[in-house]
Structure 1
Amino acid sequence: MYKDTINSAIQHAFIRGERQAFEHIYRAFSRPLYRRILYLVKDPDEADEILHNLFLKIWSSHDQIDPDKNLFAYFMQAANSMSIDQLRKNIRTQAIHDKIGRSGDDDSICSVEENYISKEEWQILESAIEQLPPQRRLIFRLCKIEGKSYKEVSEVLSISTATISNQLVLAMKSLRQFVIQHQKEIMLYCLFLEQLRQR
């Protein structure tokens, strides 16, 4: 059904990197993709973020798409994959908090540890952002934290929206790798606490 709204000319223009084709495809695909993502992750904010990152990811590698592919099916497969990845991440994060909650009977101690993890997670994110290259860090803060549009950032920094899109893709990749690495450190911290209580 949705593939019928995208003819061959639009699909080829998208693969060539034409912004107008991207916008046409976004209008045609975003609503059904959002419904599918929301069905999987059950969280509107997470669904919004996944949808945004999905289009960024595919747009950043548009020239590698097979022109004979069913483009909507290609987007839907990516949406399913990214949603499942998010669910796995949520499960890992919940497992960390559950482990802390089980690590002692003293409610006050558990509360302190949970607050520590919350602050630790925020510090990890801040550290990850600070390690980005200057322009990439600025683009990330303007778009992701301050909520500015590509057009606004393009005008402020005098760079193309395509450059902004590519820099955000690279930033998100770096942040994910950084956070995943430090999630392991948080888990080790939890295991260390448990071993102390068993002594």
Structure 2
Amino acid sequence: MPDSEQHIIADLRDENKRDLAFHVLVKTYQERLYWHIRKIVMNHDDADDILQNTFMKVWRSIDKFREESSLYTWLYRIATNESITFLNSKKKKSLMALGEENEYLVDNLMSDPYFDGDEIQLKLQEAILKLPEKQRLVFNMKYFDEMKYDDMAQILDTSVGALKASYHHATKKIEEFLKNTD
């Protein structure tokens, strides 16, 4: 674990330094976590809410952090779980049928006033959103976040081999989608 992470964790556990350390934590990780969440839920306002929930959960549970992983992977795991929980609750509330989640996410992407990508980026995002949830997560973390498989394995609680297979299947499906939409 990097010294800066060790320092933040120590300060978060010190009552006298906790507020300032939390501010440093947020400032250090909020942008990366926001974009990770945003790629999962495809909506700016939802991503903001989930990011806030993520940091509230971190604030409440920092004392339970066992330092078996890096602070970075722990934060990503919380953000990922919060995002999935959000999508699952959306599905339940709207009684979405299986497969409709992808359409919901594509609709979010198409109607997002903050999306500033060109036609090619839009097609890529649409292809990614057609993937099953796990493949979508793995693809985003590997392709966009350039995350190592070992870190992803800790965040998603799965094996490196399963992640490599998911990434391979995801890239094949994306290639096929892009070939068929020309």
Q: What TM-score does the superposition give when structure 1 sets the normalisation length?
A: 0.44
Query: Rg bigger for which structure?
Result: 1
Structure with higher helix content:
1
The normalised TM-score by structure 2 is: 0.47
